Amino acid sequence: MEFLDPDLEKYIEAHTEPESELLYKINRETHTEVLKPRMLSGHLQGRVLSMLSHMIQPENILEIGTYTGYSALCMAEGLKDNGKLITLDVNEELEERVREYFQSSEYSDKIEMKIGKALEIMPTLNKTWDMVFIDADKSNYLNYYKLCIDQVRKGGYILVDNVLWSGKVLEKNRKKLDKDTESMLEFNEFVHQDDRVQNVLFAIRDGLMILRKK
Protein backbone atom coordinates (compact mmCIF):
# COMPACT_ATOMS: atom_id res chain seq x y z
CA MET A 1 0.00 0.00 0.00
CA GLU A 2 1.29 3.46 -0.94
CA PHE A 3 0.46 5.95 1.80
CA LEU A 4 1.55 9.01 -0.18
CA ASP A 5 0.83 10.24 -3.68
CA PRO A 6 3.78 8.98 -5.81
CA ASP A 7 4.50 12.49 -7.12
CA LEU A 8 4.51 13.87 -3.58
CA GLU A 9 6.86 11.10 -2.52
CA LYS A 10 9.21 12.01 -5.36
CA TYR A 11 9.12 15.65 -4.24
CA ILE A 12 9.92 14.63 -0.66
CA GLU A 13 12.91 12.54 -1.76
CA ALA A 14 14.08 15.33 -4.08
CA HIS A 15 14.17 17.66 -1.09
CA THR A 16 15.91 15.21 1.22
CA GLU A 17 19.68 14.74 1.50
CA PRO A 18 20.77 12.30 -1.24
CA GLU A 19 22.18 8.84 -0.68
CA SER A 20 25.93 8.33 -0.66
CA GLU A 21 27.47 6.48 -3.61
CA LEU A 22 27.70 3.29 -1.55
CA LEU A 23 24.10 3.49 -0.35
CA TYR A 24 22.93 4.15 -3.89
CA LYS A 25 24.86 1.07 -5.03
CA ILE A 26 23.30 -1.08 -2.30
CA ASN A 27 19.85 0.26 -3.17
CA ARG A 28 20.31 -0.49 -6.87
CA GLU A 29 21.89 -3.93 -6.41
CA THR A 30 19.32 -4.99 -3.83
CA HIS A 31 16.52 -4.21 -6.28
CA THR A 32 18.19 -6.00 -9.19
CA GLU A 33 19.90 -8.96 -7.49
CA VAL A 34 18.22 -9.77 -4.14
CA LEU A 35 14.85 -11.28 -3.30
CA LYS A 36 12.21 -9.12 -1.60
CA PRO A 37 13.86 -5.70 -2.22
CA ARG A 38 10.89 -4.03 -0.54
CA MET A 39 12.59 -4.97 2.74
CA LEU A 40 15.24 -2.32 2.06
CA SER A 41 14.88 0.85 4.15
CA GLY A 42 15.56 2.99 1.10
CA HIS A 43 16.42 6.63 0.57
CA LEU A 44 13.91 8.51 2.74
CA GLN A 45 13.81 6.15 5.70
CA GLY A 46 17.57 5.73 5.51
CA ARG A 47 18.05 9.49 5.84
CA VAL A 48 15.58 9.51 8.75
CA LEU A 49 17.61 6.80 10.50
CA SER A 50 20.79 8.78 9.88
CA MET A 51 19.23 11.98 11.21
CA LEU A 52 17.95 10.25 14.35
CA SER A 53 21.33 8.65 14.94
CA HIS A 54 23.06 12.02 14.62
CA MET A 55 20.57 13.47 17.11
CA ILE A 56 20.99 10.63 19.61
CA GLN A 57 24.78 10.36 19.12
CA PRO A 58 24.80 6.73 20.24
CA GLU A 59 27.78 4.83 21.54
CA ASN A 60 26.07 1.45 21.13
CA ILE A 61 23.47 0.52 18.50
CA LEU A 62 21.74 -2.84 18.15
CA GLU A 63 20.06 -3.69 14.87
CA ILE A 64 17.81 -6.74 14.65
CA GLY A 65 17.50 -7.59 10.96
CA THR A 66 20.41 -6.66 8.67
CA TYR A 67 19.07 -7.59 5.23
CA THR A 68 21.58 -5.99 2.80
CA GLY A 69 23.13 -3.58 5.30
CA TYR A 70 21.58 -0.32 4.12
CA SER A 71 19.98 0.71 7.42
CA ALA A 72 23.05 -0.28 9.44
CA LEU A 73 25.26 2.01 7.37
CA CYS A 74 22.75 4.85 7.73
CA MET A 75 22.68 4.56 11.52
CA ALA A 76 26.46 4.17 11.73
CA GLU A 77 26.78 7.73 10.40
CA GLY A 78 25.73 9.12 13.79
CA LEU A 79 27.87 6.90 16.01
CA LYS A 80 30.31 8.48 18.43
CA ASP A 81 33.99 8.13 17.52
CA ASN A 82 34.30 5.12 19.81
CA GLY A 83 30.84 3.82 18.89
CA LYS A 84 29.81 0.31 17.86
CA LEU A 85 26.86 -1.06 15.90
CA ILE A 86 26.03 -4.75 16.22
CA THR A 87 23.66 -6.08 13.57
CA LEU A 88 21.97 -9.48 13.70
CA ASP A 89 20.51 -11.54 10.89
CA VAL A 90 19.62 -15.17 10.30
CA ASN A 91 20.20 -15.15 6.52
CA GLU A 92 23.55 -16.75 5.74
CA GLU A 93 23.05 -16.37 1.99
CA LEU A 94 23.42 -12.59 2.13
CA GLU A 95 26.33 -12.57 4.60
CA GLU A 96 29.19 -12.34 2.08
CA ARG A 97 27.50 -9.57 0.10
CA VAL A 98 26.72 -7.52 3.22
CA ARG A 99 30.20 -7.92 4.72
CA GLU A 100 31.66 -6.61 1.45
CA TYR A 101 29.41 -3.55 1.67
CA PHE A 102 30.48 -2.92 5.27
CA GLN A 103 34.17 -3.39 4.47
CA SER A 104 33.98 -0.86 1.63
CA SER A 105 32.48 1.78 3.94
CA GLU A 106 34.19 4.21 6.28
CA TYR A 107 32.40 2.51 9.18
CA SER A 108 33.91 -0.96 8.71
CA ASP A 109 35.64 -0.87 12.10
CA LYS A 110 32.42 0.21 13.86
CA ILE A 111 30.03 -2.44 12.52
CA GLU A 112 29.93 -6.03 13.73
CA MET A 113 27.65 -8.49 11.97
CA LYS A 114 26.46 -11.66 13.69
CA ILE A 115 24.64 -14.47 11.91
CA GLY A 116 22.12 -16.52 13.86
CA LYS A 117 18.82 -16.31 15.68
CA ALA A 118 18.51 -12.91 17.35
CA LEU A 119 16.59 -14.26 20.34
CA GLU A 120 19.56 -16.53 21.09
CA ILE A 121 22.27 -13.96 20.42
CA MET A 122 20.76 -10.97 22.25
CA PRO A 123 21.13 -12.39 25.80
CA THR A 124 24.86 -12.95 25.13
CA LEU A 125 25.53 -9.29 24.29
CA ASN A 126 26.81 -7.50 27.37
CA LYS A 127 25.89 -3.99 26.24
CA THR A 128 23.74 -1.06 27.27
CA TRP A 129 22.05 0.22 24.13
CA ASP A 130 21.54 3.86 23.23
CA MET A 131 19.60 2.95 20.11
CA VAL A 132 17.89 -0.23 18.88
CA PHE A 133 16.37 -0.80 15.45
CA ILE A 134 13.96 -3.71 15.06
CA ASP A 135 13.31 -4.78 11.47
CA ALA A 136 13.16 -8.58 11.36
CA ASP A 137 10.48 -11.31 11.43
CA LYS A 138 7.23 -9.69 12.52
CA SER A 139 6.04 -12.63 14.64
CA ASN A 140 8.88 -11.97 17.09
CA TYR A 141 8.67 -8.17 17.30
CA LEU A 142 7.23 -8.26 20.80
CA ASN A 143 9.79 -10.84 21.91
CA TYR A 144 12.62 -8.67 20.62
CA TYR A 145 11.16 -5.65 22.39
CA LYS A 146 10.74 -7.44 25.71
CA LEU A 147 14.28 -8.80 25.48
CA CYS A 148 15.98 -5.48 24.74
CA ILE A 149 13.94 -2.95 26.76
CA ASP A 150 15.89 -3.57 29.99
CA GLN A 151 19.18 -3.29 28.09
CA VAL A 152 18.31 0.17 26.74
CA ARG A 153 19.58 3.07 28.82
CA LYS A 154 17.21 5.59 30.31
CA GLY A 155 16.62 8.15 27.58
CA GLY A 156 17.60 5.64 24.92
CA TYR A 157 15.55 4.86 21.81
CA ILE A 158 13.96 1.86 20.16
CA LEU A 159 12.97 2.26 16.50
CA VAL A 160 10.63 -0.28 14.92
CA ASP A 161 9.94 -0.66 11.20
CA ASN A 162 6.83 -1.85 9.30
CA VAL A 163 4.39 -1.07 12.10
CA LEU A 164 1.64 -0.12 9.61
CA TRP A 165 2.18 -3.40 7.77
CA SER A 166 1.02 -2.15 4.36
CA GLY A 167 -2.06 -0.65 5.98
CA LYS A 168 -3.27 -4.05 7.19
CA VAL A 169 -3.35 -2.80 10.78
CA LEU A 170 -6.75 -1.46 9.70
CA GLU A 171 -9.45 -4.07 9.27
CA LYS A 172 -10.75 -2.49 6.06
CA ASN A 173 -7.40 -3.12 4.36
CA ARG A 174 -7.26 -6.89 4.91
CA LYS A 175 -9.34 -9.85 3.83
CA LYS A 176 -8.45 -11.88 6.92
CA LEU A 177 -6.31 -11.56 10.04
CA ASP A 178 -3.08 -13.41 9.28
CA LYS A 179 -0.40 -14.25 11.84
CA ASP A 180 1.99 -11.41 10.97
CA THR A 181 -0.75 -8.79 11.05
CA GLU A 182 -1.98 -10.13 14.37
CA SER A 183 1.55 -9.95 15.74
CA MET A 184 1.91 -6.35 14.55
CA LEU A 185 -1.40 -5.32 16.14
CA GLU A 186 -0.35 -6.95 19.40
CA PHE A 187 3.04 -5.23 19.32
CA ASN A 188 1.63 -1.78 18.55
CA GLU A 189 -0.92 -2.03 21.33
CA PHE A 190 1.59 -3.37 23.86
CA VAL A 191 4.15 -0.58 23.38
CA HIS A 192 1.40 2.03 23.25
CA GLN A 193 0.25 0.91 26.71
CA ASP A 194 3.78 0.43 28.11
CA ASP A 195 4.38 3.23 30.62
CA ARG A 196 8.14 2.64 30.45
CA VAL A 197 8.30 4.41 27.09
CA GLN A 198 7.08 7.46 25.21
CA ASN A 199 5.91 6.50 21.73
CA VAL A 200 5.08 8.14 18.43
CA LEU A 201 4.16 6.37 15.19
CA PHE A 202 5.40 8.05 12.01
CA ALA A 203 3.82 7.32 8.61
CA ILE A 204 7.26 6.99 7.04
CA ARG A 205 7.51 4.24 4.40
CA ASP A 206 5.64 1.31 5.99
CA GLY A 207 5.34 2.93 9.41
CA LEU A 208 8.16 3.74 11.83
CA MET A 209 7.49 3.55 15.59
CA ILE A 210 9.87 5.59 17.73
CA LEU A 211 10.03 4.76 21.42
CA ARG A 212 11.98 6.69 24.05
CA LYS A 213 12.69 4.91 27.31
CA LYS A 214 11.64 7.12 30.21
Helix (H) or strand (E) holding 49: helix 42-56
Confidence of residue 4 (pLDDT cuts 50, 70, 90): confident
CB 144 within 8 A of CB 135: no
Residue 3 has pLDDT above 90, yes or no: no
Tell me how far apart the alpha carbons of residues 207 and 44 are, in angstroms, rounded to a whole number. 12
Domains of the chain: 6-213 (3.40.50.150)
Q: Who's near 18: CB < 8 A, 6+ residues apart?
A: 24, 43
Q: What is the pLDDT of residues 196-206, one digit of tens each?
A: 999 999 999 99
Average pLDDT taken over every residue of the chain: 96
Asked whether residue 54 carries a pLDDT value surpassing 70, the answer given is: yes
Confidence bin at 1 (pLDDT 50/70/90): low
